[in-house]
Structure 1
Protein backbone atom coordinates (compact mmCIF):
# COMPACT_ATOMS: atom_id res chain seq x y z
CA UNK A 1 0.00 0.00 0.00
CA UNK A 2 3.01 2.34 0.44
CA UNK A 3 3.17 3.38 -3.27
CA UNK A 4 -0.56 4.13 -3.20
CA UNK A 5 -0.12 6.29 -0.11
CA UNK A 6 2.68 8.24 -1.77
CA UNK A 7 0.48 8.99 -4.76
CA UNK A 8 -2.61 10.01 -2.79
CA UNK A 9 -1.10 11.84 0.19
CA UNK A 10 -0.97 15.63 -0.10
CA UNK A 11 0.68 17.37 2.79
CA UNK A 12 -0.75 20.69 3.97
CA UNK A 13 1.74 23.12 5.47
CA UNK A 14 1.38 26.60 6.98
CA UNK A 15 3.02 29.61 5.25
CA UNK A 16 6.01 29.72 7.57
CA UNK A 17 6.30 25.86 7.61
CA UNK A 18 5.78 25.88 11.37
CA UNK A 19 2.94 23.42 11.09
CA UNK A 20 2.65 20.36 8.81
CA UNK A 21 -0.54 18.33 8.55
CA UNK A 22 -1.17 15.08 6.64
CA UNK A 23 -4.74 13.90 5.94
CA UNK A 24 -5.16 10.10 6.08
CA UNK A 25 -8.97 10.08 5.75
CA UNK A 26 -8.95 8.90 2.12
CA UNK A 27 -6.51 6.07 2.89
CA UNK A 28 -8.49 5.08 5.97
CA UNK A 29 -11.63 4.73 3.88
CA UNK A 30 -9.73 2.63 1.31
CA UNK A 31 -8.34 0.29 3.99
CA UNK A 32 -11.74 -0.13 5.62
CA UNK A 33 -13.23 -1.00 2.24
CA UNK A 34 -10.82 -3.88 1.66
CA UNK A 35 -12.33 -7.36 2.04
CA UNK A 36 -10.02 -10.30 2.63
CA UNK A 37 -10.93 -13.86 1.67
CA UNK A 38 -11.17 -16.16 4.70
CA UNK A 39 -9.18 -19.37 4.94
CA UNK A 40 -11.25 -22.19 3.38
CA UNK A 41 -12.78 -24.78 5.67
CA UNK A 42 -11.16 -28.21 5.96
CA UNK A 43 -12.77 -30.83 3.67
CA UNK A 44 -13.89 -34.22 4.99
CA UNK A 45 -13.26 -37.35 2.90
CA UNK A 46 -16.44 -39.47 2.68
CA UNK A 47 -15.02 -42.99 2.98
CA UNK A 48 -18.41 -44.64 2.37
CA UNK A 49 -18.67 -42.92 -1.04
CA UNK A 50 -15.10 -43.59 -2.16
CA UNK A 51 -14.83 -46.34 -4.76
CA UNK A 52 -11.94 -48.72 -5.27
CA UNK A 53 -12.05 -50.88 -8.39
CA UNK A 54 -9.37 -52.59 -10.46
CA UNK A 55 -6.45 -50.16 -10.54
CA UNK A 56 -8.44 -46.94 -9.96
CA UNK A 57 -9.60 -45.10 -6.84
CA UNK A 58 -12.31 -42.41 -6.76
CA UNK A 59 -12.00 -40.16 -3.70
CA UNK A 60 -15.08 -38.14 -2.65
CA UNK A 61 -15.09 -35.31 -0.10
CA UNK A 62 -17.39 -32.55 1.19
CA UNK A 63 -17.00 -29.23 2.96
CA UNK A 64 -18.69 -28.66 6.34
CA UNK A 65 -20.54 -25.69 4.80
CA UNK A 66 -21.01 -24.69 1.14
CA UNK A 67 -18.38 -22.17 0.04
CA UNK A 68 -18.71 -20.41 -3.33
CA UNK A 69 -15.27 -18.81 -2.95
CA UNK A 70 -13.43 -22.14 -3.45
CA UNK A 71 -11.27 -21.97 -6.56
CA UNK A 72 -9.85 -25.52 -6.59
CA UNK A 73 -8.80 -28.49 -4.45
CA UNK A 74 -5.45 -30.20 -3.95
CA UNK A 75 -5.45 -33.97 -3.45
CA UNK A 76 -2.39 -35.80 -2.17
CA UNK A 77 -1.95 -39.57 -2.05
CA UNK A 78 0.79 -42.03 -1.26
CA UNK A 79 1.29 -45.72 -0.90
CA UNK A 80 1.57 -47.19 2.54
CA UNK A 81 2.15 -50.65 3.96
CA UNK A 82 -0.49 -50.62 6.68
CA UNK A 83 -4.11 -49.77 7.38
CA UNK A 84 -5.04 -46.82 9.58
CA UNK A 85 -3.68 -43.28 10.08
CA UNK A 86 -0.36 -42.35 8.48
CA UNK A 87 2.83 -42.78 10.39
CA UNK A 88 5.25 -39.94 11.05
CA UNK A 89 7.82 -41.39 8.69
CA UNK A 90 6.66 -43.20 5.56
CA UNK A 91 8.73 -44.82 2.83
CA UNK A 92 6.71 -43.29 0.00
CA UNK A 93 6.43 -39.55 -0.84
CA UNK A 94 3.14 -37.71 -1.29
CA UNK A 95 1.96 -37.51 -4.90
CA UNK A 96 0.14 -34.21 -5.60
CA UNK A 97 -2.87 -33.62 -7.88
CA UNK A 98 -3.67 -29.90 -8.24
CA UNK A 99 -6.42 -27.90 -9.91
CA UNK A 100 -9.36 -30.19 -9.08
CA UNK A 101 -12.61 -28.27 -9.60
CA UNK A 102 -15.09 -30.84 -8.24
CA UNK A 103 -15.50 -32.51 -4.85
CA UNK A 104 -14.22 -35.83 -6.18
CA UNK A 105 -11.31 -37.15 -8.21
CA UNK A 106 -10.43 -40.49 -9.81
CA UNK A 107 -6.83 -41.66 -9.71
CA UNK A 108 -6.01 -44.16 -12.43
CA UNK A 109 -2.98 -46.22 -13.38
CA UNK A 110 -2.33 -47.64 -9.94
CA UNK A 111 -0.27 -50.80 -9.70
CA UNK A 112 -2.01 -54.01 -8.74
CA UNK A 113 0.43 -54.64 -5.87
CA UNK A 114 -0.56 -51.39 -4.13
CA UNK A 115 -2.23 -52.76 -1.03
CA UNK A 116 -3.10 -49.56 0.87
CA UNK A 117 -3.14 -45.90 -0.12
CA UNK A 118 -3.48 -42.82 2.10
CA UNK A 119 -5.37 -39.75 0.83
CA UNK A 120 -5.77 -36.18 2.07
CA UNK A 121 -7.32 -33.11 0.44
CA UNK A 122 -7.47 -29.36 1.02
CA UNK A 123 -9.49 -26.49 -0.42
CA UNK A 124 -7.99 -23.33 -1.95
CA UNK A 125 -9.49 -19.98 -2.82
CA UNK A 126 -7.71 -17.29 -4.86
CA UNK A 127 -5.78 -16.07 -1.81
CA UNK A 128 -4.88 -18.99 0.42
CA UNK A 129 -5.04 -22.77 0.87
CA UNK A 130 -6.83 -24.30 3.85
CA UNK A 131 -5.77 -27.14 6.11
CA UNK A 132 -5.50 -30.73 4.90
CA UNK A 133 -8.32 -33.10 5.76
CA UNK A 134 -7.77 -36.00 8.12
CA UNK A 135 -5.81 -38.61 6.13
CA UNK A 136 -7.85 -41.64 5.06
CA UNK A 137 -6.37 -45.02 4.15
CA UNK A 138 -8.16 -47.13 1.54
CA UNK A 139 -7.39 -50.70 0.59
CA UNK A 140 -6.78 -51.07 -3.14
CA UNK A 141 -7.41 -54.67 -4.09
CA UNK A 142 -6.18 -55.97 -7.40
CA UNK A 143 -8.78 -57.13 -9.90
CA UNK A 144 -9.84 -60.69 -9.06
CA UNK A 145 -10.13 -62.78 -12.19
CA UNK A 146 -12.84 -65.46 -12.17
CA UNK A 147 -14.45 -67.60 -14.83
CA UNK A 148 -18.24 -67.70 -14.95
CA UNK A 149 -19.56 -71.22 -15.43
CA UNK A 150 -23.13 -70.04 -16.00
CA UNK A 151 -22.25 -68.15 -19.18
CA UNK A 152 -19.66 -70.62 -20.52
CA UNK A 153 -20.14 -72.79 -23.60
CA UNK A 154 -22.13 -75.98 -22.94
CA UNK A 155 -19.12 -78.23 -23.53
CA UNK A 156 -16.84 -76.31 -21.17
CA UNK A 157 -16.39 -77.52 -17.62
CA UNK A 158 -15.44 -74.46 -15.54
CA UNK A 159 -14.10 -74.68 -11.99
CA UNK A 160 -12.54 -71.61 -10.36
CA UNK A 161 -9.56 -70.75 -12.58
CA UNK A 162 -9.58 -73.98 -14.59
CA UNK A 163 -11.39 -74.68 -17.89
CA UNK A 164 -11.71 -78.13 -19.42
CA UNK A 165 -13.34 -79.14 -22.70
CA UNK A 166 -15.86 -81.93 -22.17
CA UNK A 167 -16.19 -83.77 -25.50
CA UNK A 168 -19.11 -85.85 -24.23
CA UNK A 169 -21.34 -82.82 -24.16
CA UNK A 170 -21.13 -81.69 -20.53
CA UNK A 171 -24.15 -79.47 -19.99
CA UNK A 172 -25.70 -80.64 -23.27
CA UNK A 173 -26.16 -84.18 -21.92
CA UNK A 174 -27.97 -82.81 -18.85
CA UNK A 175 -30.23 -80.59 -20.94
CA UNK A 176 -31.00 -83.49 -23.30
CA UNK A 177 -32.05 -85.69 -20.39
CA UNK A 178 -34.28 -82.98 -18.94
CA UNK A 179 -36.05 -81.97 -22.14
CA UNK A 180 -35.75 -85.32 -23.93
CA UNK A 181 -35.21 -83.66 -27.32
CA UNK A 182 -33.67 -85.55 -30.23
CA UNK A 183 -32.85 -82.67 -32.60
CA UNK A 184 -31.40 -80.14 -30.16
CA UNK A 185 -29.32 -77.34 -31.77
CA UNK A 186 -27.02 -77.48 -28.75
CA UNK A 187 -25.34 -80.72 -29.80
CA UNK A 188 -21.66 -80.16 -30.52
CA UNK A 189 -19.14 -82.51 -32.09
CA UNK A 190 -16.36 -83.69 -29.84
CA UNK A 191 -13.47 -81.22 -30.03
CA UNK A 192 -10.29 -80.60 -28.15
CA UNK A 193 -8.85 -77.17 -27.47
Structure 2
Protein backbone atom coordinates (compact mmCIF):
# COMPACT_ATOMS: atom_id res chain seq x y z
CA UNK A 1 0.00 0.00 0.00
CA UNK A 2 1.22 3.52 -0.77
CA UNK A 3 2.54 5.78 1.99
CA UNK A 4 0.89 9.08 2.93
CA UNK A 5 3.60 10.87 0.96
CA UNK A 6 2.92 9.01 -2.29
CA UNK A 7 -0.86 8.86 -1.82
CA UNK A 8 -2.01 12.50 -1.98
CA UNK A 9 -5.70 11.52 -1.90
CA UNK A 10 -5.42 9.50 1.31
CA UNK A 11 -6.27 12.42 3.63
CA UNK A 12 -9.36 13.24 1.56
CA UNK A 13 -10.48 9.60 1.62
CA UNK A 14 -10.16 9.57 5.39
CA UNK A 15 -12.27 12.74 5.69
CA UNK A 16 -14.90 11.35 3.31
CA UNK A 17 -14.99 8.07 5.23
CA UNK A 18 -15.41 9.92 8.52
CA UNK A 19 -18.38 11.88 7.13
CA UNK A 20 -19.97 8.70 5.78
CA UNK A 21 -19.60 6.94 9.10
CA UNK A 22 -20.95 9.90 11.08
CA UNK A 23 -23.97 9.95 8.76
CA UNK A 24 -24.51 6.22 9.28
CA UNK A 25 -23.59 5.75 12.93
CA UNK A 26 -23.35 9.18 14.53
CA UNK A 27 -20.27 10.76 16.03
CA UNK A 28 -20.40 8.40 18.98
CA UNK A 29 -20.31 5.39 16.64
CA UNK A 30 -17.05 6.11 14.85
CA UNK A 31 -13.49 5.20 15.72
CA UNK A 32 -10.07 5.49 14.12
CA UNK A 33 -10.24 1.81 13.22
CA UNK A 34 -13.64 2.13 11.51
CA UNK A 35 -12.61 5.25 9.59
CA UNK A 36 -9.35 3.66 8.42
CA UNK A 37 -11.17 0.52 7.29
CA UNK A 38 -13.82 2.54 5.42
CA UNK A 39 -11.15 4.71 3.76
CA UNK A 40 -9.06 1.66 2.84
CA UNK A 41 -5.96 2.99 4.59
CA UNK A 42 -3.66 1.58 7.27
CA UNK A 43 -4.68 2.48 10.82
CA UNK A 44 -1.39 4.39 11.22
CA UNK A 45 -2.55 6.85 8.56
CA UNK A 46 -5.03 8.22 11.05
CA UNK A 47 -2.33 9.58 13.35
CA UNK A 48 -0.12 10.57 10.43
CA UNK A 49 -2.81 12.90 9.04
CA UNK A 50 -4.72 13.91 12.19
CA UNK A 51 -3.72 14.59 15.79
CA UNK A 52 -6.81 12.80 17.00
CA UNK A 53 -10.50 12.22 16.45
CA UNK A 54 -11.38 15.82 17.34
CA UNK A 55 -9.15 17.16 14.55
CA UNK A 56 -10.53 14.63 12.07
CA UNK A 57 -14.11 15.60 12.97
CA UNK A 58 -13.29 19.32 12.66
CA UNK A 59 -11.79 18.75 9.22
CA UNK A 60 -14.71 16.56 8.14
CA UNK A 61 -17.35 18.99 9.34
CA UNK A 62 -15.41 21.90 7.82
CA UNK A 63 -15.71 20.17 4.45
CA UNK A 64 -19.40 19.46 5.03
CA UNK A 65 -20.13 23.07 6.03
CA UNK A 66 -18.25 24.40 3.03
CA UNK A 67 -20.18 22.12 0.67
CA UNK A 68 -23.56 23.09 2.18
CA UNK A 69 -22.77 26.81 2.27
CA UNK A 70 -21.55 26.73 -1.33
CA UNK A 71 -24.75 24.98 -2.45
CA UNK A 72 -26.83 27.68 -0.73
CA UNK A 73 -24.74 30.48 -2.25
CA UNK A 74 -25.03 28.97 -5.72
CA UNK A 75 -28.78 28.54 -5.28
CA UNK A 76 -29.27 32.20 -4.34
CA UNK A 77 -26.70 33.62 -6.80
CA UNK A 78 -29.13 34.16 -9.71
CA UNK A 79 -31.49 36.27 -7.56
CA UNK A 80 -31.24 39.96 -8.40
CA UNK A 81 -34.16 41.32 -6.35
CA UNK A 82 -35.53 40.71 -2.86
CA UNK A 83 -38.58 38.97 -4.41
CA UNK A 84 -36.34 36.61 -6.39
CA UNK A 85 -34.22 35.99 -3.29
CA UNK A 86 -37.36 35.18 -1.26
CA UNK A 87 -38.40 32.71 -3.95
CA UNK A 88 -34.92 31.14 -3.92
CA UNK A 89 -35.06 30.84 -0.12
CA UNK A 90 -38.42 29.08 -0.37
CA UNK A 91 -36.94 26.70 -2.95
CA UNK A 92 -33.89 26.10 -0.78
CA UNK A 93 -36.05 25.06 2.16
CA UNK A 94 -37.89 22.58 -0.05
CA UNK A 95 -35.10 21.31 -2.27
CA UNK A 96 -31.62 21.84 -0.86
CA UNK A 97 -32.41 21.15 2.78
CA UNK A 98 -34.89 18.31 2.37
CA UNK A 99 -34.56 14.93 0.77
CA UNK A 100 -30.93 14.42 1.68
CA UNK A 101 -31.01 12.24 4.80
CA UNK A 102 -27.21 12.16 4.97
CA UNK A 103 -26.99 15.97 5.04
CA UNK A 104 -29.74 16.17 7.65
CA UNK A 105 -27.98 13.71 9.97
CA UNK A 106 -24.62 15.44 9.49
CA UNK A 107 -26.20 18.83 10.22
CA UNK A 108 -27.82 17.58 13.40
CA UNK A 109 -24.62 15.83 14.52
CA UNK A 110 -22.71 19.08 13.95
CA UNK A 111 -25.30 21.07 15.91
CA UNK A 112 -24.97 18.63 18.80
CA UNK A 113 -21.18 18.95 18.80
CA UNK A 114 -21.45 22.74 18.52
CA UNK A 115 -23.70 22.85 21.57
CA UNK A 116 -20.89 21.23 23.59
CA UNK A 117 -17.62 22.19 21.93
CA UNK A 118 -16.45 25.74 21.08
CA UNK A 119 -14.39 24.56 18.08
CA UNK A 120 -17.50 23.18 16.44
CA UNK A 121 -19.50 26.25 17.40
CA UNK A 122 -16.97 28.24 15.37
CA UNK A 123 -17.86 26.07 12.37
CA UNK A 124 -21.59 26.73 12.78
CA UNK A 125 -20.94 30.45 13.23
CA UNK A 126 -18.90 30.47 10.04
CA UNK A 127 -21.69 28.66 8.23
CA UNK A 128 -24.25 31.18 9.48
CA UNK A 129 -21.97 34.06 8.49
CA UNK A 130 -21.72 32.76 4.91
CA UNK A 131 -25.48 32.27 4.67
CA UNK A 132 -26.10 35.72 6.09
CA UNK A 133 -23.65 37.39 3.69
CA UNK A 134 -25.50 35.76 0.84
CA UNK A 135 -28.88 36.93 2.16
CA UNK A 136 -27.50 40.42 2.93
CA UNK A 137 -27.26 41.09 -0.81
CA UNK A 138 -31.05 41.46 -0.71
CA UNK A 139 -32.20 42.11 2.86
CA UNK A 140 -31.37 44.34 5.84
CA UNK A 141 -29.44 42.95 8.82
CA UNK A 142 -32.47 42.23 11.03
CA UNK A 143 -34.31 40.47 8.21
CA UNK A 144 -31.19 38.45 7.41
CA UNK A 145 -30.94 37.11 10.98
CA UNK A 146 -34.62 36.26 11.10
CA UNK A 147 -34.58 34.68 7.65
CA UNK A 148 -31.49 32.61 8.47
CA UNK A 149 -33.21 31.23 11.58
CA UNK A 150 -36.41 30.60 9.62
CA UNK A 151 -34.49 28.64 6.98
CA UNK A 152 -32.88 26.42 9.61
CA UNK A 153 -36.08 25.87 11.55
CA UNK A 154 -38.35 25.19 8.59
CA UNK A 155 -35.77 22.93 6.97
CA UNK A 156 -35.45 20.79 10.07
CA UNK A 157 -39.22 20.70 10.59
CA UNK A 158 -39.81 19.70 6.95
CA UNK A 159 -37.22 16.95 7.22
CA UNK A 160 -38.46 15.50 10.50
CA UNK A 161 -42.21 16.06 10.43
CA UNK A 162 -44.36 13.07 9.49
CA UNK A 163 -46.53 15.45 7.46
CA UNK A 164 -44.19 18.19 6.16
CA UNK A 165 -45.72 21.59 5.55
CA UNK A 166 -46.47 22.77 2.03
CA UNK A 167 -44.40 25.03 -0.17
CA UNK A 168 -47.20 27.60 0.07
CA UNK A 169 -46.85 27.73 3.86
CA UNK A 170 -43.09 28.21 3.47
CA UNK A 171 -43.59 30.97 0.92
CA UNK A 172 -46.00 32.77 3.27
CA UNK A 173 -43.54 32.48 6.18
CA UNK A 174 -40.69 33.84 4.04
CA UNK A 175 -42.98 36.66 2.83
CA UNK A 176 -43.81 37.61 6.42
CA UNK A 177 -40.16 37.79 7.43
CA UNK A 178 -39.18 39.75 4.33
CA UNK A 179 -42.28 41.98 4.22
CA UNK A 180 -40.45 45.20 5.10
CA UNK A 181 -37.84 44.73 2.37
CA UNK A 182 -38.20 47.12 -0.57
Q: Give the structure with the larger strand fraction.
A: 1
Q: Give the structure with the larger helix fraction.
A: 2
TM over 0.5: no
Give the TM-score of the pair, scaled to structure 2: 0.23
Structure number with bigger Rg: 1
Give the TM-score of the pair, scaled to structure 1: 0.23
